[in-house]
Structure 1
């Protein structure tokens, strides 16, 4: 079941809202248990078989968490339990996500034989990473043991279960405490449903409508010339943007209906003035996760090793070539390599990660070695910086979307004018121009709704629009958006990030 499927908003969501209002009147335990049950129903609609995998993962990690807590005074035992828990989680993820593609890759090169494929459990990366982070923080004393009911809902809560955001226990667990009122808050319901309607409109009426143009080029890149290839790439960029933005809005909105606040996961990334800024705006919870649990531990380990050898590991040391290489470049490349592998088992995902790792290293070098008041830094800022960043992102998205590395190279050749074929259609160009204007000139959903955004990266919106209010005008506008989307939605439509 997806958020844009008719069965979700016609049956599942109304039952969830009414049930929460009913069970919330009996107190915390009944409300939490109801939401956990409905979350399992939500997952089971896709696969009852893999529902048991999800339940098994939750029970396993819950037991590991309590073993870690009980051995708080025994450092080595606690470390061993944590290592076992992480290894088991990664083994399950590796089996479903990487084993079969890897064996078939070797079979294609004459080693072994083809073993077929296996269906990837929806959301396995998200519920696995969420639980690993909890175990790590528990061992470090940054988390406390939870009762089974709260932990179950933390992992399974349906707005984030299948495609994120990657939740952190510190921001979610306190919202399941006894002291909050478990019932419907009409302001939260109004805001949440408006957020959901806007996200659904993005997904159904923009991303799904433009997908055919992108698919035709990516399926047969050699059939398209210079203009046709660029049109296909730009159409995919818009499809991916509004698909992921739409999903993120729908997830945040659904959570808010039940008065649960999710972290923002999407903040106008095509307005970014650099690749570092881009990753602080695109899949924000993934960036936060890999920074906290991959990049930062690597930096800490390298810094400690440098200090043992008598080398400096300060911010000043990073301004030297040796310090920059060991403290920024290599850790960043490794981290983004893992981020690329997380997206999929194909070579194109590995290269996608390395491309963005290289981008970020160059961005860090730009910030580190060029004077802030230098002429080059003054020239490349604002719209110029946005344009350069966007072009870099486009080349990365080609690798992300292509069927393989060879297909991506063929598309790059078309972008450089090496193919002779179909050009861009007038309808495609109209879509591209309209959507680029929407992306670059208009405020995003959380700005329209008056929600908080990151103060360090304000968005530039030349076209000012009125803020959302719980009044009749906004109710009519969002209701129309929802009804139009409902008329065009299909059960076959899925979100692009569901495959991860």
Structure 2
């Protein structure tokens, strides 16, 4: 989405104002306006993607309509396979290089994963609840709406019906609020996530190429640095998508809610990728649990039966989440590790399935939770078992334990020369540590952008809308001007791999 900052900054306010003018005169024309711009956006990124998206969206509309009548129930699995086939073919079968950047090697955008799961939820709704799809024009808009097409949040088809069946009234204040969220998202991604990504990539490459295991300080920096990078990358992308959609009066679901402030395991997981997790709960967890409850032997009963159903359903959810991100073995292992951690906590705590899973109260419990999450995130980022293991062994390299407290670069990052580090990252090791420290404090103690703006998908009128006074306008303009000059320095973002 950030590959075209000039387009976002200069064209978006004009389009939002034009849309508000059009919508007040004709809702149907406003639908066509949003659809045309969404298709132009997708086509500008990739013409192959445009042809694929229009074809699959049109075919899916016919399949949803057939399922809603009850006449095509026996073809449900076949329809589902057709809908998911582009994702399986282009993302898993034809692409083996995970370092694919903004476009896959054949020109299909990374948003294919979000798009495919969105259509799959529509098939489920038509099959289970006999829900009719939107009209073809609004169906095409709901499935290609450009703010969340590339980077989410993932809008279920049921949610899309509520958004696009009747377009909400646009407000000039929504444009101001949307631009504010867009500015916050750009700051997160470009000022924090991108520099941290450059540091992490540089250190990963140096550690992977080294003959010795990583130093203790390198392993600590990378494990926490990757988690903080993912935090700001993911949070920033969510803010950008929600902010752009809000400029057109569309409220997307909140996708991220300060997971580092979570007090227990369940709360932590529920604060990450909220839209994806909600969809997996509704369409995978519930379906798996219902299927198991009907097929498990009757001799397994009571709490043992409930615990077994819960454990298998949780495992299915996180296994699919790992596969959904990419066919990378470390993604799958990381997802399995999360599932096993949840099941282990459930067993140790002795709580009923589904209850909040807590750790020790206070700072010790939160540190333990975040340390576990950072280890999983670092392995998630590694890309291969060998690199992940090579990196994790640094955590038991006690010979270099005191490197963490040294301020000289050769001791802190011993796997890479000072000159190479500064050329590749554009900063000194001390500056890198300072950036990570500031980002950590922001993520742990500052209110997030949803709290700052009072954003609520269900009650958009309760936004803490402030008039675009001089101070606020100057701040937003400064961010946009900074992006114009800085955008040439950014590279591939962590979240764009998915």
Provide TM-score, normalisation by structure 1: 0.84
Residue number among 311, 325, 328 corresponding to 1:346 in the alignment: 328
Instruction: Provide the C-alpha distance between the structure 1 equivalents of 2:173 and 2:151, rounded to a whole number of angstroms.
Output: 26
Tell me if the contact between 2:315 and 2:336 (Cα under 8 Å) persists in the aligned partners: yes
Residue number among 156, 162, 171 corresponding to 1:168 in the alignment: 156
**Any stretches of 5+ residues in structure 2 without a counterpart?**
99-103, 401-409, 414-428, 459-463
* Corresponding residue of 2:315: 333
Q: Deviations over 1:362-412 (max 9, x none)?
A: 233344349xxxxx97x8123322211111111111121112111111110
The 5 A counterparts of 1:48-197 are 48-69=47-68, 71-72=69-70, 77-100=71-94, 118=106, 120-141=108-129, 143-178=131-166, 180-181=168-169, 184-197=170-183
The 5 A counterparts of 1:218-237 are 218-221=204-207, 223=210, 224-237=214-227
The 5 A counterparts of 1:200-211 are 200-211=186-197
Tell me if the contact between 2:253 and 2:457 (Cα under 8 Å) persists in the aligned partners: no
Which SS does the other structure have where 1:60 is aligned? helix
Q: How many angstroms does 1:491 deviate by? A: 7.8
Q: Deviations over 1:444-499 (max 9, x none)?
A: 11111122499xxxxxxxxxxxx773352333333333332333113854442222
Larger deviation, residues 352-361 vs 329-338: 329-338
Larger deviation, residues 485-494 vs 87-96: 485-494
Residue number among 384, 388, 393 corresponding to 2:368 in the alignment: 388
Tell me if the contact between 1:349 and 1:400 (Cα under 8 Å) persists in the aligned partners: yes
* Corresponding residue of 2:466: 469
Tell me if the contact between 1:138 and 1:144 (Cα under 8 Å) persists in the aligned partners: yes
Distance 1:295 1:413, change over 3 A: same
Instruction: Provide the C-alpha distance between the structure 1 equivalents of 2:380 and 2:43, rounded to a whole number of angstroms.
Output: 29
Instruction: Provide the C-alpha distance between the structure 2 equivalents of 1:140 and 1:432, rounded to a whole number of angstroms.
Output: 47
Q: Does 1:272 align with 2:271?
A: no
Residue number among 191, 216, 219 corresponding to 2:202 in the alignment: 216
Q: Does 1:426 align with 2:430?
A: yes
Distance 1:22 1:158, change over 3 A: same
Matched residues, number? 456
**Any stretches of 5+ residues in structure 1 without a counterpart?**
106-115, 371-375, 455-466
Distance 1:264 1:339, change over 3 A: same
Instruction: Provide the C-alpha distance between the structure 1 equivalents of 2:290 and 2:110, rounded to a whole number of angstroms.
Output: 33
Q: Does 1:240 align with 2:230?
A: yes
Tell me if the contact between 2:168 and 2:249 (Cα under 8 Å) persists in the aligned partners: no
Q: How many angstroms does 1:147 deviate by? A: 0.4
* Corresponding residue of 2:298: 309
The 5 A counterparts of 1:421-460 are 423-424=412-413, 425-452=429-456
Distance 1:418 1:453, change over 3 A: farther
Tell me if the contact between 2:264 and 2:366 (Cα under 8 Å) persists in the aligned partners: yes
Tell me if the contact between 1:229 and 1:415 (Cα under 8 Å) persists in the aligned partners: yes
> RMSD across aligned C-alpha pairs, in angstroms?
2.8
Instruction: Provide the C-alpha distance between the structure 2 equivalents of 1:209 and 1:342, rounded to a whole number of angstroms.
Output: 26
Tell me if the contact between 2:193 and 2:233 (Cα under 8 Å) persists in the aligned partners: yes
Larger deviation, residues 424-433 vs 253-262: 424-433
Q: How many angstroms does 1:414 deviate by? A: 1.5
Which SS does the other structure have where 2:82 is aligned? helix
Instruction: Provide the C-alpha distance between the structure 1 equivalents of 2:496 and 2:195, rounded to a whole number of angstroms.
Output: 18
Q: How many angstroms does 1:442 deviate by? A: 0.8
Instruction: Provide the C-alpha distance between the structure 1 equivalents of 2:490 and 2:442, rounded to a whole number of angstroms.
Output: 27
Tell me if the contact between 2:168 and 2:250 (Cα under 8 Å) persists in the aligned partners: no
Q: How many angstroms does 1:6 deviate by? A: 2.6
Instruction: Provide the C-alpha distance between the structure 1 equivalents of 2:105 and 2:173, rounded to a whole number of angstroms.
Output: 47
Q: How many angstroms does 1:60 deviate by? A: 1.0
Which SS does the other structure have where 1:45 is aligned? helix
Q: How many angstroms does 1:256 deviate by? A: 0.8
Which SS does the other structure have where 1:227 is aligned? helix
Distance 1:84 1:351, change over 3 A: same
Instruction: Provide the C-alpha distance between the structure 2 equivalents of 1:87 and 1:210, rounded to a whole number of angstroms.
Output: 38
Instruction: Provide the C-alpha distance between the structure 2 equivalents of 1:158 and 1:360, rounded to a whole number of angstroms.
Output: 35
Instruction: Provide the C-alpha distance between the structure 2 equivalents of 1:135 and 1:492, rounded to a whole number of angstroms.
Output: 38
Instruction: Provide the C-alpha distance between the structure 2 equivalents of 1:232 and 1:396, rounded to a whole number of angstroms.
Output: 11
Distance 1:178 1:334, change over 3 A: closer
Q: Does 1:406 align with 2:406?
A: no
Q: Deviations over 1:197-245 (max 9, x none)?
A: 1111111111112222111111122544111222133222222111111
Q: How many angstroms does 1:345 deviate by? A: 1.0
Residue number among 473, 476, 485 corresponding to 1:487 in the alignment: 485
Write out the 4+ residue segments of structure 1 that deviate beyond 4 Å after TM superposition. Answer: 116-120, 418-422
Which SS does the other structure have where 2:478 is aligned? helix
